[in-house]
Amino acid sequence: MVNFSVRLKTLIVTVTGDIDQHNAASLREQIDLRISHENVKRLVFDFSKLDFMDSSGIGIIIGRYKLMATLGGKVAIVVTKPTLRKLLELSGVQRIVHICDSLSDAMKAA
Amino acid sequence: MNNNIEIKFLSKSENESFARTVIAAFIAPLDPTLEEMADVKTAVSEAVTNSIVHGYASASGYVYMDCSIDGDTVTIIVKDNGKGIADIKQAMEPLFTTNTDGERSGMGFTVMETFMDTVDVESITGVGTKVTLTKQIGKNRL
Ligand SMILES: Nc1ncnc2c1ncn2[C@@H]1O[C@H](COP(=O)(O)OP(=O)(O)OP(=O)(O)O)[C@@H](O)[C@H]1O
Ligand SMILES: [Mg+2]
């Protein structure tokens, strides 16, 4: 499940449930559609309520980072679970997006 | 051996979450921490997804999962009769992927190696791939 909200030209993408290869394509399409429809400058992934993510999610984050970079925007991610944090650090994603503990931190970082 | 289960399922992507649910229920008696539970589920998800998207790709076949508990160690064997891996060493390198649509990160094996204690890969081109994952649960318990 994915929910969208826009605040101060920032698109907040809140994902609940699981991100795996099975639902990655649909999630990607929904996010890209929003980015192209809203006039947003930044993207925040709120994963604080996410139950599960594997490397399929890394592909989504890197792809959206590249998309936002072409629009001159930044990306931040809210992460609370240790396994998810390890996954992001491992993949080097933390070098290109801001990894934050809370949505308010992410809103400032993005 | 204290316990063992074997399951097989068709190489459909909706079975990725099924495989995670099975392994979570199977290791629950070892009383893993939330982090250990998430680590094992993530590693299994990577191995099963690889069998589905790379092993069988657009073809259909069975993915086999053999899970054992021996003392406080869980062993999970994920096997497919798919196309196999020509160069295992290269496949296991971080960021290596044969996928070209730019939406795979090539991190699956690296994730398995980080989240489990051991990862062993056997593969024969045209025959299939067998990935064996082990992890001791409760290592950090007092
Ligand atoms: N079961 C398998 N059968 C055939 N080839 C495989 C199998 N598992 C892995 N491979 C090969 O090894 C490569 C690396 O796998 P790995 O899981 O590390 O990355 P990926 O699947 O390409 O990307 P990601 O897992 O990050 O989405 C794959 O691109 C594929 O070529
Ligand atoms: Mg993979």
Mean pLDDT of B37-49: 98
The residue among A8, A3, A33, A2 whose CA lies nearest residue A106 is: A8
How far apart CA A40 and CA A99 sit, in angstroms, is 20
- Residue B15 maps to which CATH number? 3.30.565.10
Residue B53 touches chain A, beta carbons under 8 Å: yes
Q: Which ligand 1 atom sits nearest the alpha carbon of residue B94? A: 18
Residue A97 touches chain B, beta carbons under 8 Å: no
**Overall domain count for chain A:** 1
How far apart CA B4 and CA A100 sit, in angstroms, is 40
Q: Nearest-CA residue of chain A relative to B51?
A: A21
According to the model, what pLDDT value does residue B105 have? 86
How far apart CA B52 and CA B49 sit, in angstroms, is 5
- Report how far apart, in Å, the C-alpha atoms of B10 and of each of B13, B21, B125, B132 are: 9, 16, 20, 19
pLDDT of residue A110 exceeding 80, the answer is: no
- Alpha-carbon gap: A40 to the closest alpha carbon of chain B (Å): 22
Which amino acid is located at A6 in the chain? V
pLDDT of residue B104 exceeding 90, the answer is: no
User: Which pLDDT tens digit goes with each residue over A47-102?
Assistant: 999 999 999 999 999 999 999 999 898 999 999 999 999 999 999 998 999 999 99
How far apart CA B107 and CA B96 sit, in angstroms, is 7
Residue nearest ligand 1's atom 31 by CA: B98
Mean pLDDT of chain B: 95
- Residue A46 maps to which CATH number? 3.30.750.24
Contacts of A1 (CB under 8 A, 6+ apart): A15, A16, A17
CB contact under 8 A, A52 and B45: yes
- Alpha-carbon gap: B85 to the closest alpha carbon of chain A (Å): 19
Mean pLDDT of B94-103: 84
Mean pLDDT of B30-56: 97
The residue among B11, B33, B26, B60 whose CA lies nearest residue B141 is: B33
Which domain, by its residues, includes B52?
Answer: 2-136
Residue A28 touches chain B, beta carbons under 8 Å: yes
Which domain, by its residues, includes A79?
Answer: 2-109
B10 assigned to some structural domain = yes
Ranges of H-type helices in A4-102: 21-37, 55-70, 82-90
pLDDT of residue B1 exceeding 70, the answer is: no
B15 assigned to some structural domain = yes
Q: In what order do the strands lie in the sheet with A2-7?
A: A2-7, A10-15, A42-46, A74-78, A98-100
Q: Which of B111 and B100 is assigned the larger pLDDT?
A: B111
How many angstroms does the Cα of residue A100 sit away from the middle of ligand 2? Answer: 26
**Taking the mean position of all CA atoms in its chain, how far away is CA B49?**
8
User: Which pLDDT tens digit goes with each residue over B46-80?
Assistant: 999 999 999 999 999 999 999 999 999 999 999 99
pLDDT of residue B142 exceeding 70, the answer is: no
pLDDT of residue A109 exceeding 90, the answer is: no
How many angstroms does the Cα of residue B131 sit away from the middle of ligand 1? Answer: 11
**Overall domain count for chain B:** 1
Proportion of chain B above pLDDT 90, given as a percent: 90
Is residue B35 part of the annotated active site? The answer reads no
Neighbours of A16 (CB within 10 A): 14
Residue nearest ligand 1's atom 3 by CA: B55
